[in-house]
Chain A
Amino acid sequence: MLLLTCPWCGPRDETEYHYGGEAHVPYPEDPSALSDQQWAEYLFYRDNPSGLFAERWSHSGGCRRWFNVVRDTRTYAVHAVYTAADPRPEIEVNP
């Protein structure tokens, strides 16, 4: 069970949250200008690293707000929690 710290509510069990996948994937500025390949990449392709991953979580069982987490997908250790308005923090990559 992950222990995630909601930026507004504090530390809560994973069961209070809903997973939202990769963070920092903006909606295309001009969707109609995209080729089919570019649209496929926006819709279906996401990074899937073994290591640090910036991902979205929603505190669906609490304040219902979305936020971002940098988590290591190998160890499941949480390295940073930040709001959706913030840029992804720089984190030293452990080999």
Chain B
Amino acid sequence: MAGEFGEQKDWLWRNPDPKPSYDMLVIGGGGHGLATAYYLAKQHGITNIAVLEKGWLAGGNMARNTTIIRSNYLWDESAAIYEFSLKEWERLPGELDYDFLFSQRGVLNLAHTLQDVRDSIRRVGANQLNGVDGEWLEPDEVAKVCPIVNVSPEVRYPVLGATFQPRAGIAKHDHVAWALARALDSMGVDLIQNCEVTGFALSTSSTSGARRVVGVETTRGRIDAGVIGLTSAGHSSVLAAKAGFRLPVQSHPLQALVSELYQPVHPTVVMSNHVHVYVSQAHKGELVMGAGVDSYNGYGQRGSFHVIEHQMAAALELFPIFGTARLLRTWGGIVDVSPDASPIIGPTPVDNLFVNCGWGTGGFKATPGAGFAMAHTMATGEAHELNRPFGLERFVSGALIDEHGAAAVAH
């Protein structure tokens, strides 16, 4: 295979066949799966592990998101894990010796109604108490940060101000995946692509009746492991069903799009909850835009056109300059949305089987934090303080972390 590509020799990772058994398995070779394996190997010294990916590495939501990184969430539990992630985004490129093109150009979250303004100012206060950088900007200050935003009071939903987190930004998602994959490979971790998990091998205790995972069935044969982590985003429910339990998530299509390449016009990231679009300009020059999920459950990696139309209308109201821009490409990913729009990281009803899911529309920014917390949980059997509030038990106890709306964007 390699020969077909002529001169290229420096492959970043091997393409090994699966071994019959490992200490641990991570199911899903996206950003979160790679990050989980990375912290297992780097932080906990567990390197006899494999990442199983049904397609190719980082070809799911990792290749389909809008790469926005920020930590300006309202609730303490969310701010903790997203701010941890942001600090890792600042640190990891050095440790991995790989430029993520992490550009800390800041994010503006626009407010268009009096309630938006009140919620935004409250969130800035909460952020500052949690050590997350952020400030409230009046419309004229918004225009200084991003001159192409229309702050005219004449539009249907005028910009009444915005929160600004200067340390937020965007990164190159492929670089993140390649950097992690290269590091994992060099530590001896097997990255196994084209390997779909088709079932779980479970053993049932004759005394307690508890079920424990001992391995998986895959399209490339049976693989045994003592501990298994599910990091499969939109397909988490499908895999959980194979292991005999349900998760409180629903999978929806989430669409995004890019324009053709333009000269730099957009210096930051702009998100609007109310007219509902988020926009940045990628390093190459495409305007990258996204918005909310399609309403219905779907695994088709595509959604309905009217959702795109709605987000274009929002983009044009905020950025009249985009009126002459041309669409290059739209796509969809499958996001698993939880009832409180917060993730689920922790044990499952099956012993030794852990899950990291429910990130919904916001998983990319959390890649390092999710991987760190999941690896800690898999390695020690105990939740880290970062993910202790994010277990499945919160849906029974009622201790929800309700980021719907609070998170500065509608999900």
Contact = CB atoms under 8 A, between A and B. Distances in A.
A40 B395 contact: yes
A83 B339 CA distance: 27
Interface string B294-305: 011111100011
A47 B246 contact: yes
Given A49-B238, A50-B238, A74 B299 contact: yes
Nearest to A57: B296
B248 interface: yes
Nearest to B241: A49
A75 B396 CA distance: 34
Contact of A50 (B299, B306, B395): B299
A45 B396 contact: no
Interface in B380-404: 395-397
Contact of B396 (A14, A15, A37): A37
Nearest to B246: A45
B255 to A, nearest CB: 12
A74 B299 CA distance: 5
The interface centre, meaning the residue of A19, A44, A49 with most chain B CB atoms within 10 A of its CB, is: A44
A85 B299 CA distance: 28
Contact of B306 (A14, A18, A46, A48): A14
Contact of A75 (B249, B250, B300): B300
A49 B236 CA distance: 10
A83 to B, nearest CB: 19
Given A2-B304, A18-B295, A73-B299, A44 B251 contact: no
A53 interface: yes
A47 B240 CA distance: 11
Interface in A1-37: 1-2, 13-15, 18-19, 21, 36-37
B300 A48 contact: no
Given A21-B250, A76-B298, A40 B396 contact: yes
Contacts of B396: 36-37, 39-40
Interface residues of B, number: 24
A40 B392 CA distance: 10
Nearest to A74: B299
A44 B342 CA distance: 13
Given A19-B296, A73-B298, A73-B299, A48 B247 contact: yes
A74 B251 CA distance: 11
A91 B241 CA distance: 21
Interface in B218-250: 235, 237-238, 241, 246-250
A11 to B, nearest CB: 15
Nearest to A47: B246
B74 to A, nearest CB: 21
A1 B298 contact: no
B400 to A, nearest CB: 9
A19 B297 CA distance: 9
A48 B250 contact: yes
B251 A48 contact: yes
Nearest to A38: B396
Contacts of A2: 296, 304
B247 to A, nearest CB: 7
A74 B300 CA distance: 5
B237 A1 contact: no
B318 to A, nearest CB: 22
A40 B246 CA distance: 12
Contacts of A71: 296
Interface of B: 235, 237-238, 241, 246-251, 295-300, 304-306, 336, 339, 395-397
Interface of A: 1-2, 13-15, 18-19, 21, 36-37, 39-41, 43-50, 53, 55, 71, 73-76
Given A55-B297, A73-B298, 20 more contacts: A1-B305, A1-B306, A2-B296, A14-B304, A18-B295, A36-B397, A37-B396, A40-B396, A41-B246, A44-B339, A45-B395, A46-B248, A47-B246, A48-B238, A48-B246, A48-B249, A48-B336, A73-B300, A74-B299, A75-B300
14 contacts: A2-B304, A14-B304, A15-B306, A21-B297, A41-B246, A47-B246, A48-B246, A50-B237, A50-B238, A73-B296, A73-B298, A73-B300, A74-B299, A76-B296
For the complex of A and B, 8 pairs with smallest distance between CB atoms: A48-B237, A19-B295, A44-B248, A40-B396, A50-B299, A44-B395, A1-B304, A40-B395
